[in-house]
Structure 1
Amino acid sequence: MMKNKKVTVQDWGLIDYKEAWAKQEALFADTIQLKMEIRNRLLAVAGDNQPDDILTPNYLVFCEHPHVYTLGNSGKPEHLLLDEKGLEENDAVYYHINRGGDITYHGPGQLVSYPILDLDNFFTDIHLYLRTLEEAVILTLADYGIKASRYPGYTGVWLDADNERARKISAMGVRCSRWVTMHGLAFNVNNDLGYFKNIIPCGIDDKAVTSMQKELGKEIDIKQVQKILQHYITTLFEMEIV
């Protein structure tokens, strides 16, 4: 099968989570529909001898969100430690969404990336997909002199994963259907870490969270981080930006 390595990069800026979710769902659904239409057309025309030229689009989205807590399919509602009044007092909203994983937080100063990819264009291995996204974050942090790694048994990127000071700097949760992905990663750059105290992040109650700002003791240019992260994602996936 021919593979389309081209990717359209989109910067949605600071965008309401529900609006971004709807935009993701539209790109996700359109990609799946196109994939099925092309496959069915080729099957109808060529039978067992159809050409392997199914090409589907890929998108790499970057954005930030106002304060929001999202709960994945495998999460527990009680991991949100705020009631409706508490959410209002923290100027935050809450959504139960259709990604994997437990509860997490998004807010201003946190870089979010949503790769909406047809993995048939790259590799059909969801674990490798997650490990590749993790590697892009690890390499980005290395450019700032921050040594990061994976934590065995957990998804995401961590600092000091091999000792009692382990703390998470990037969380991940994805949805995949017919090898098309949505949702993605959240990367703590300058965001207010106090909001994580209102949840049991990713269901882990004995580990801390951190940010680039906290680790380096200064505010970081989030657009520069985005540029570097984009470079590593597109390089590791061997993408061509269009």
Structure 2
Amino acid sequence: MNSRINKQVEVKQLGLIDYKTAWDEQERLFATIVDRKLQNRVCPVEEQQLTPNYLLFCEHPPVYTLGTSGHAENLLIDEARLTTELGATFFKIRRGGDITYHGPGQLVGYPILDLDNFFTDIHRYMRLLEESIILTLADYGLKAGRIDGLTGVWLGYDADVNPEAGSPRKICAMGVKASRWVTMHGFALNVSTDLRYFNHIVPCGITDKAVTSLAAELGYEVPLSEVAARVQHHLSTLFEMKIIDN
């Protein structure tokens, strides 16, 4: 067994936090992990230090973010009006995916992990993130899944063979960045999100599918902290994490 593997993950509950502030914190923790990995490369084995892992949970004031592979035309409102009429902000960021919305009532998770501590496979990483959300939604009696070629988690994903499931609608968006096998950014699960904000974008660049939330599907609101605890449980099981609450 590799004694240099660290499966401990420090969980940070950031609450409602400005997007740029959370982004800066992600960048800081990301740099901490990468710097330690680089230092370990030039140190004797006995002097090498374990790399830390973090899981940040938060929600943001209204904000739209556009990934590196996204298209600016998928923002359907002028940036000036976006601020004055919607009270929202806009950021271009270094992650995969197109445009998405973050706002109150949405559980945002930022795993900042050294995948050398778990497995070095980005495809598997993304699928396990999705699986943690699928299992969380199953806890509430909702059958969710994936749609081929589309990242994220969907209800009505099997509408072609199960019409009773309703038309496809996205409940969780995902977009990550990884460098030197260290991850940042993550997922955004609509818990009790005001879905009207999605009317001003083409969510994730997908024109023919709807967006939904846990509250919209259940008909009642669930506390964000409760959902976060369930997601954390499933992530810890799937990744075999040892959780450290902060």
Question: TM class, shorter-chain normalised?
Answer: over 0.9
Aligned residue in 1 for 2:234: 232
TM-score, with normalisation over the residues of structure 1?
0.94
Counterpart position of 1:121: 117
Aligned to 2:54: 59
Does 1:107 pair with 2:109?
no
For 1:86 and 1:163, locate their aligned partners in 2 and report how far apart those are by CA, in whole Å.
Answer: 36
* Matches for 1:145-184 after TM superposition, within 5 Å: 145-163=141-159, 165-184=167-186
User: 8 Å contact 2:79–2:90 — kept in the other structure?
Assistant: no
The 1-side partners of 2:158 and 2:144 are apart by: 11
| C-alpha distance in 2 between matches for 1:145 and 1:163 | 17
State the partner residue of 2:192: 190
| Amino acid of the structure 1 residue aligned with 2:130 | E
C-alpha displacement of 1:201:
0.5
Q: Distance in 2 between matches of 1:31 and 1:17?
A: 21
Contact 1:39 1:54 survives alignment (8 Å) = no
Q: Which residue of 1 aligns with 2:93?
A: 97
Shift, 1:162, TM fit = 1.9
- Following superposition, the deviation at residue 220 of structure 1 comes to 1.2
What is the CA-CA distance between 1:221 and the residue it aligns to? 1.2
Distance in 2, Cα, partners of 1:119 & 1:30: 14
Call closer, same or farther: CA 1:39–1:167 in 2, change over 3 Å.
Answer: same
**Per-residue deviation at 1:93?**
0.4
1:51 offset after TM fit, Å? Answer: 6.5
Given the alignment of the two structures, is residue 200 of structure 1 paired with residue 202 of structure 2, yes or no?
yes
Q: 1:140: Cα distance to partner?
A: 0.3
Rounded Cα–Cα distance in structure 1 between residues aligned with 2:201 and 2:22: 22
Pairwise CA distance, 1:86 = 2.0
Superposed CA RMSD = 1.3
Percent of aligned pairs sharing the same letter: 61
Gaps of 5+ in 1: 43-49
Question: Which portions of structure 1, spanning 4 or more consecutive aligned residues, are displaced by more than 4 angstroms?
Answer: 50-54
How many angstroms apart in 2 are the aligned matches of 1:126 and 1:53?
25
CA distance in 2, matches of 1:85, 1:215: 33
Structure 2: distance between partners of 1:196 and 1:170: 13
Q: CA deviation at 1:163?
A: 2.1
Separation (CA, whole Å) in 2 of partners of 1:222 and 1:241: 19
State the Cα deviation string for residues 42-87 of structure 1 (Å, max 9, x = none). Answer: 3xxxxxxx56965200001100000000000000011101112321
Under a length normalisation based on structure 2, what TM-score does the superposition of the two structures give?
A: 0.93
- Matches of 2:91 and 2:182 in 1, distance apart? 22
What is aligned with 1:223? 225
User: Which residue matches 1:3?
Assistant: 5
Gaps of 5+ in 2: 161-166
Q: CA deviation at 1:40?
A: 1.4
Deviations along 1:82-122, one digit per CA (max 9) or x if unpaired, are 11232121000000001111000000000000000000000
Instruction: Give aligned pairs, total.
Output: 235
- C-alpha separation in 2, matches of 1:237 and 1:31: 18
Aligned to 1:68: 63
Q: In the TM superposition, what whole-angstrom CA distance separates every residue of 1:115-152 from its partner, at most 9, and x where no partner exists? A: 00000000000010000000000000000001100111
Alpha-carbon distance in 2 for matches of 1:32, 1:17: 22
